[in-house]
Homo-oligomer: A and B are copies of this chain.
């Protein structure tokens, strides 16, 4: 084993800190990220394993103000629809949540999976075609952690109609939206998920999600 493949206890402790600190951020400062940050983080994302080495991830950086505004409108409409599905106290709680940072986040990008790619020659996707999307999610997760290690938060927005996002961003129809992401420096740091602080939901004991067979 080469020394570069070995990690020590000090690194593992810090890595654990990285996992603990919250990275799915909704409240951003509006100051810009250093030039080249998005491309650099995308480079890290592409270090992810992918099914059959198909590398089906597609990244769309969104800088055009008109497109950003269209995404924000799409979110607001979708979020208003979502609010209607709650009632009473739960609806009041939902209405008070901040679920995206589309107005403030200085860097925005959409991630898609191209399930039609011939790269990888279909390996591992015959019975589980959803593996293309999962590979794109894995790439997002690398980015999430790399960003956090630089003090950058990355909010995953899924309160959107995927087809509408494809149209706004003018990307091929078969590309499957994985998420729309807001990146920027967070207003505050926390080791507690914002939805827990807001009383929306609480974290469960990991043991409760393990079965033995």
Q: Which residues of A contact B (CB under 8 A)?
A: 1-2, 4-7, 11-12, 14-24, 39, 42-49, 51-55, 57-64, 67, 78, 81-82, 85-86, 90, 94, 97, 99, 119-128, 130-131, 133-134, 137-138, 140-142, 144-146, 148-151, 156, 158-162, 169-171, 177-179, 189, 193, 195-196, 200-204, 206-207, 209-213
| Chain B proximity of A84: nearest CB distance (Å) | 10
Residue in contact with A121 in the complex, picked from B86, B128, B144, B210, CB distance below 8 Å = B86
Residues of B within 8 A of A60 (CB): 210-213
Residues of B within 8 A of A177 (CB): 128
Give Cα A67–Cα B97 distance, bound, in whole angstroms. 45
Q: Are B126 and A81 in contact (CB under 8 A)?
A: yes
User: Mostly helix, strand, loop or mixed at chain A's interface?
Assistant: mixed
| Chain B proximity of A89: nearest CB distance (Å) | 11
Give Cα A50–Cα B43 distance, bound, in whole angstroms. 24
Q: Are B204 and A158 in contact (CB under 8 A)?
A: no
Residue in contact with A209 in the complex, picked from B59, B125, B160, CB distance below 8 Å = B59
Q: Are B161 and A127 in contact (CB under 8 A)?
A: yes
Q: Are B2 and A189 in contact (CB under 8 A)?
A: yes
A123-B195, A210-B39 known; A160+B128 contact, CB < 8 A: yes
| Chain B proximity of A24: nearest CB distance (Å) | 4
Q: Are B6 and A158 in contact (CB under 8 A)?
A: no
Residues of B within 8 A of A52 (CB): 195, 200-201
Residues of B within 8 A of A94 (CB): 123
